[in-house]
Amino acid sequence: MAKKKTSTPLSTITRDVTALSAPVGNIYETVVIISKRANQISSEMKHDLDKKLQDFSAVTDNLEEIHENREQIEVSRYYEKLPKATLRAIKEFEDGKVYYRNPLQSKIAAE
């Protein structure tokens, strides 16, 4: 598996809230934008992981026959080492890679 090259930190760092919310102008809207993007990233990662782990699933449903598979463990460890979805979403937001719009503001501007 090729690791995606990203500059996202693997641990939480302190951020300036006013600088983070500057593009939107409201910290609450910023949190909503970041959380929605984190949910998207998380669901993509879960879908990818489930798709890769389906290759290892056994046809039988007997609990006694469950065995550990080395490749399955490596896949799981790979996904555990990736940065968390929230950290990736914050990094994308800081880099300006997240598209967002407020439909209420668009409606008010149109009137």
Q: Residue 87: CB partners within 8 Å, gap ≥ 6?
A: 8, 9, 10, 12
> Residue 54: is its pLDDT beyond 80?
yes
Q: Are the C-beta atoms of 42 and 84 separated by less than 8 Å?
A: no
Chain-centre distance for alpha carbon 107? 30
pLDDT tens digit sequence for 71-93: 888 888 899 899 999 999 999 99
Residue 41 belongs to a domain:
yes
> Residue 2: is its pLDDT beyond 50?
no
> Residue 5: is its pLDDT beyond 70?
no
Burial 51-64 (b: 16+ CB within 10 A, else e): ebeeeeeeeeeeee
Q: Residue 30: CB partners within 8 Å, gap ≥ 6?
A: 20, 21, 23, 24, 93
Residue 63 belongs to a domain:
no
Residue 4 belongs to a domain:
no
Residue 83 belongs to a domain:
yes
pTM of the predicted structure, to 2 decimals: 0.76
Average pLDDT over residues 94-108: 84
Residue 84 belongs to a domain:
yes
How many other C-beta atoms can be found within 10 angstroms of the C-beta atom of residue 32?
A: 14
Residue with tokens 């949910």: 39
Residue 9 belongs to a domain:
no
Average pLDDT over residues 41-67: 76
For 52, the domain range is 19-56+68-110
What is the count of structural domains for the chain? 1
Nearest to 86 by CA among 29, 19, 37, 50: 37
